[in-house]
A and B are shown apart, each in its own frame.
Chain A
């Protein structure tokens, strides 16, 4: 066997095994450099896995060489490849760009622990994505969650601690619900392997235990994914986390929970549980619509820059679910491609915020008045990514909105309402992005708080890489679209 066959395992193992070593690195900068290198290696692995998936379909890896339902299987599909790209790219970009930003937020003596937690978060998220086993997903969910709590708690603001405690309690409830559900399914099927579960759940699909299991798993994962109205933990956590952590986690962490939710629901439950598909769509669609409208509405009135973008994230989760709740290939493709596109847009926006944060202490709307004059490049990147978030043609955000609208139009009257929802919420996005732009470009600079020029070069370059990725994938969306279409087709081909 060549090293290529081991890529699914290495995807998780490289960041995971580097983490404990990073703890020991006490030379300043070494921990950061090692973490960045490990993260970059994970990115290279993700790219090669994507290539392998595009060429030859799903990649399967048997841990310890044990056959599938007895041992643990890793399974990299088009859907997983898309998520792996997001997780590793977000981590690598923010790490490479963020040294100075993190130096400002985290005490040098604490940095080895911080970077170890960062790598564990990457390993945890990647572990969830490649897992083909329900319990294995839980184990790596624990790693990812614990590591995220640590990263968010590193925020310089004391309010980071109460918000992370809230996140911890909510996240633990979510994980427990997921575990209860998996336990019930295991009780009725005797297996933990997802593929095996799919086959064996058929015989017991009409039993009450399985029905309850489906409920627990869906609610637990929805809590982790901050699906409206279970999003209460998200805004404060994103607001008080260190800027680079916000940029990293906002790009990928809720998406990974959504990925598990969609995968579990479509592959295991929908074709086997009577009427589950219909119920799933009926319950999900109103939540998605409400999430989109309410969260966008709150974002319009937020004064804190990071909180504003955090509420926007809750709304974007709504879009992804809206696509999924249409139950068509086009809708699901729209939802999944929005996972990718929103990661690009929100990652770039939070990076731009980090640029501002490098020069301005208070990231309130009134604190950034006239900042565009002193930080023109930062604000230009903010505008570009903001346009992508709104969904302006020529940006990545447009592609997902286009798919969502086209899919909705196939649905008749309900579809027209959904189109209206997408349009209204896009206008709301225009409003909240505009409020930032208005303050930054047209506000008068208060003489007291004059920012000391542009953001650090590394951070600015990374922000522009992310912003330009929004343009690139808006003009040539073939990679995310191919992966999303394949993912949507796989998820739906099981359905009757």
Chain B
């Protein structure tokens, strides 16, 4: 049954990918990438990677589609057709694909318990997590603690991207009041404000989306999810609000300085937990020293860093969104 689902999803995925490449209408391409991400999320779910599926659905299908639309509002809708070098690119893509297929010939069968990935570090994580960290979701334990340094790095990737977008689009921080009309992305672009049904239904959804985000944040130790997903989900809720009631309203609810505070505060909070590890006699990002009982310390540490991740990701995504939307007004 699962294999049937997988084949179905992967076929759709391939078709969508081809359609994205072939279409010259950028709006269609953006919509298709949203579908692509949703299919990808379903694929991850079929492969039992619920945490990744949640992220892909929120970021890939949700936020990046909105950001693409934001960029599209600033440019033309149709792709300029490029003739030169097409065959060369095609050749390179085909060769790379063939090489990748060649690489899978020695691949262990999907789900094979004897595969190297299930033999080496993974059993250790499964064995040790209950004892060392004491939480049921091993993925959270790996991302939050065992490989917490990578997660810190990922948070800074998002922060760097946010800094980059703000810098390049040249948005002044907090220094202006957004005008209620003349807002292309949220009024002319989508025009949801004057449509009654999306507005009513959307408004009903927003509190639940935000609540679900908070649930994902604080429940990450038990079920799928964590700070990253939570930040993305809450950001989606607020972006939906911006689409329904205009960017100005969204900025009134969560002003720009607050967003910047979330980005800086979240990243700094995570870093501060790491430094606290050093200050209390452990090493960087060693949560065991945060409480008298090392297991309690681990749980506390993971909770704090998840909050940090959530703040930084939510703040960054919203800042990027507003940067695009503000650009539309100029």
Contact = CB atoms under 8 A, between A and B. Distances in A.
Given A146-B160, A190-B121, A136 B116 contact: no
Interface stretch (A69-77, A358-366, A466-474): A69-77
A186 B268 CA distance: 31
B264 interface: yes
A70 B281 CA distance: 21
Interface stretch (A59-67, A300-308, A408-416): A59-67
A302 B283 CA distance: 51
Contacts of B44: none
A63 B121 contact: no
A350 B117 CA distance: 47
Interface string A265-294: 000000000000000000000000000000
B168 A21 contact: no
Interface stretch (A203-211, A380-388, A421-429, A442-450): A203-211
B102 A62 contact: no
B125 A64 contact: no
A120 interface: yes
B168 A150 contact: yes
Interface majority SS (helix, strand, loop, mixed), chain A: helix
Interface in B97-152: 99-100, 102-108, 115-122, 124-125, 128, 145-150
Interface stretch (A82-90, A106-114, A237-245, A477-485): A106-114
Given A70-B146, A71-B147, A154 B167 contact: yes
Contacts of B107: 187, 209
Contact of B153 (A9, A21, A143, A190): A143
Contacts of A71: 146-147
Contacts of A120: 156, 159-160, 163
Contacts of A117: 160, 163-164, 167
Interface string A1-44: 10101100110010011011101100000000000000000000
B157 A142 contact: yes
Nearest to B267: A20
Given A63-B283, A71-B146, A190-B120, A13 B153 contact: no
A209 B161 contact: no
B264 A23 contact: yes
B94 to A, nearest CB: 15
A64 B287 contact: yes
Nearest to B272: A17
B198 to A, nearest CB: 35
Contacts of B99: 212, 215
A79 interface: no
Contacts of A45: none
B274 A20 contact: no
B52 to A, nearest CB: 13
A113 B167 contact: yes
Interface in B261-308: 263-264, 267-268, 271, 274-275, 277-278, 281-288
A353 interface: no
Interface string A108-150: 0110011011001001100100000101100110110011011
A64 B148 contact: yes
B163 A17 contact: no
A249 interface: no
A20 B268 contact: yes
A180 B159 CA distance: 24
Interface residues of A, number: 66
A374 interface: no
Given A16-B156, A139-B150, A140-B153, A209 B271 contact: no
A186 B117 contact: yes
B317 interface: no
Interface string A206-237: 01110111010000000000000000000000
Contacts of B271: 13, 16-17
Contacts of B148: 63-64
Given A72-B147, A209-B107, A20 B172 contact: no
Contact of B286 (A3, A65, A110, A143): A65
A20 B159 contact: yes
Contact of B103 (A1, A116, A150, A212): A212
B260 A23 contact: yes
Contact of A109 (B100, B172, B278, B281): B172
B264 to A, nearest CB: 4
Contacts of B180: none
Contacts of B283: 1, 5-6, 9, 61-65
A154 B268 CA distance: 25
A114 B107 CA distance: 45
A95 B286 CA distance: 33
B281 A1 contact: yes
Contact of A188 (B106, B157, B260, B267): B106
A189 B271 CA distance: 31
A208 B149 contact: no
Interface in B156-187: 156-157, 159-161, 163-164, 166-168, 170, 172-173, 175
Name the 3 nearest CB pairs between A and B, nearest first: A190-B120, A212-B103, A139-B153
15 contacts: A16-B271, A20-B159, A23-B260, A61-B283, A62-B283, A65-B288, A70-B125, A71-B147, A72-B150, A142-B160, A143-B153, A154-B167, A161-B168, A190-B116, A190-B120
